[in-house]
Amino acid sequence: MTYTEVPGARVPIRMWADPATVEPVAMQQLRNVSTLPWIEGLAVMPDVHFGKGATVGSVIAMRGAVCPAAVGVDIGCGMSAVKTSLTANDLPGDLSRLRSKIEEAIPVGFAMHDDPVDPRRLHGLPTAGWDDFWGRFDGVAEAVKFRQGRAVKQMGTLGSGNHFVEFCLDGTGSVWLMLHSGSRNIGKELAEYHIGEARKLSHNQNLVDRDLAVFIADTPQMAAYRHDLFWAQEYARHNREIMMALFQDVVRKEFKKAKPMFEPVISCHHNYVAEETYEGVDLLVTRKGAIRAGGGEYGIIPGSMGTGSYIVRGLGNEASFNSASHGAGRRMSRNQAKKRFSEQDLAEQTRGVECRKDRGVVDEIPAAYKPIEQVMEQQRDLVEVVAKLKQIVCVKG
């Protein structure tokens, strides 16, 4: 579909979703964002739904300002995927051992590594700039510096919620490795600190929604946030790199006879800020639940834990600020899903997938998400499909 423009907004709100299906609270969030004097435009993805601070599935382009609550607390959250030389013929009949080995290598939930992961000991992982990256931690907000020890040990860990590690097959029977995570607790701590700082500023006192408090260019507060924001985005990228290297090590050991090889890793953020230029204007583009989909750029759009995911190539649609959806998008809250569905429902909807099927992950049941095929259909002018993946092992936080 092509986009629909929402009427009555101060700036263009271009929507790649049926407005009639968008929750009224999400639609109000979009209108609230459009009232900000720094806003240049909004693009709304087909996985749009209500979120804290700003709508999930929205792309917010601002001139000389950024809203930390719109970025959210999982700064740099995103996806990584890699195609392997393995095929379905290489797989054992029972995949439970593989799942256990992945869970042993990559801590999930609130767990962390007992000792920091040394990237120099991981096969093929680039380490250039590693010391400089940690050196720049000295410049983060003083209120968060005491968390460095935890941040070091959480590097290379999954977290909880909708984060996952998956072992997948594409339509040709080739095996892919895929994972979803972000900046862990350190990103959350930095985000919450700066959201609080933004709310104190005088220019934010009369906003229609206090969650829309912004930092303005050429101020000390903006400089401090930009430093911490971009550092946390880099942390998230490194976190996924280390997890993928650990994942690949598991696969090498478990499929030693097949001697697996790996293509270059595809990686993309979907909760982040980027400096981009449109029609000659320099903008700060916040993608909250959206990926960059510039012309020829690869991206990853996951579905739920029982459906499937897509590797895509961007079409460079500037009306969307070169963006596309970040996934299927929730159609009901976690609490609603827990009340509505049982462990039996989860088992039925994840049949054929080696994964947790207990009460602790019922809120991640496929029926709690929008149909991924519908989401993909609505953004045919944003991305083209390279491969469709179906998970056969899913490790959840």
- Residue ranges of the binding site for GMP: 162-166, 270-271, 302-305, 309, 326-329, 396
Helices first, then strands: H and E counts in the chain? 10, 18
What span, in angstroms and rounded, lies between the C-alpha atoms of 139 and 220? 13
Annotated binding site for Mn(2+): 74, 163, 180, 270
Strands 13-15 and 39-49 turn out to be parallel
Query: Are the CB atoms for 215 and 68 separated by under 8 Å?
Result: yes
Residue type, 92: P
Residue whose structure tokens are 């429902």 = 345
Which residues, including other chains, have CB under 8 Å from residue 308's CB and lie 6 or more apart?
Answer: 168, 372, 388, 389, 390, 391
Compute φ and ψ for 389, nearest 5 degrees.
Answer: -110, 145
The single residue listed with the structure tokens 């986009």 is 3
Cβ neighbours for 387, distance < 8 A, ≥ 6 positions apart: 83, 170, 171, 176, 310, 311
Residues contributing to the annotated binding site: 74, 162-166, 180, 270-271, 302-305, 309, 326-329, 396
Q: Which of the residues are catalytic?
A: 326
Structure tokens at 381: 């002018």
Q: What is the Cα–Cα distance from 217 to 92, expressed in whole angstroms?
A: 56
Place of tokens 């960059």: 292
Interior/surface letters 62-77, b for 16+ CB within 10 angstroms, e for the rest: beebbbbbbbbbbbbb
